[in-house]
Amino acid sequence: MAIPAVLHVASMSQALPVGAVLARRGRLRPAPVVWVAAWCVVLLLSDAGLLLIARWEGNNLWVRYIALPAESTLALWTLSYWQVHDLLRLAYRLAIPLLLVATALTLAFSDSSRHFDEFMAPLHALVLLTAALHTLVHRAIRAEGSITRESWFWVSLGMSLYFGSAVALQPFNSALLATHMDWVRAAYLTHAWVEIVAFALITVGVLCPPYQGPFGGRS
């Protein structure tokens, strides 16, 4: 079955923030913006690896076992830069090894082919959704001036959309795959459209000029 065009567009939309970072020639590239680009590069490589290995070998599940922890690590590391207190920044970074250990234990001591997509992938998405929403709300209620000038606003908003749509995707699809294939297809297509919007918002954040925020340092 041919892959719907919108899924290809959604995957390629992940390249938009990377292009935006590269386009900032001669302008300051704040650290979190650079890490956003690194996260998007891993997403692109993951999608490409899944597609190529599926064609060569058929079984491409192991790519997810490597890619998802890497993606979550980079996303949490990115969001940690936008925390208003050192303690919060540390908490975000400490969440990374905890999530990696939970993932490793799941792969080592369970039926990874089933439990990874049904439990670990939604857990990763839920952790990242919580982190993105917390960053968005926590920074917004403490912001002075227009938050639409801030990279953290657009990036955390885009991440919230992206991870929010991913939280229930796999459990929903697993529950309905055998009986309602058309619903599963609709869920994937909806997720793809949300992903396009999400990465467009993230790209806006990458293009925002550095701004001296009320908490010190550049945003």
* Residue 155 structural domain: 5-207
Task: Please state the domain count of the chain.
Answer: 1
Least confident of 60-64, 128-132, 190-194: 60-64
Q: Is residue 212 part of a domain?
A: no
Give the integer Cα–Cα distance in Å for 135 and 85: 11
Q: Is residue 168 part of a domain?
A: yes
For the stretch 62-121, pLDDT in tens is 788 999 999 999 999 999 999 999 999 999 999 999 999 999 998 888 776 677 877 888
Q: Is residue 219 part of a domain?
A: no
**What is the mean predicted confidence (pLDDT) over 195-213?**
83
User: Is the pLDDT at 217 greater than 50, yes or no?
Assistant: no
Q: Which two tokens stand for residue 79?
A: 């969001």
Q: Is residue 29 part of a domain?
A: yes
Q: Is residue 191 part of a domain?
A: yes
User: Is the pLDDT at 171 greater than 70, yes or no?
Assistant: no
User: Is the pLDDT at 57 greater than 80, yes or no?
Assistant: no
Q: Is residue 149 part of a domain?
A: yes
**What is the mean predicted confidence (pLDDT) over 6-18?**
93
Q: Is residue 216 part of a domain?
A: no
Q: Is residue 160 part of a domain?
A: yes
Full-model pTM: 0.87
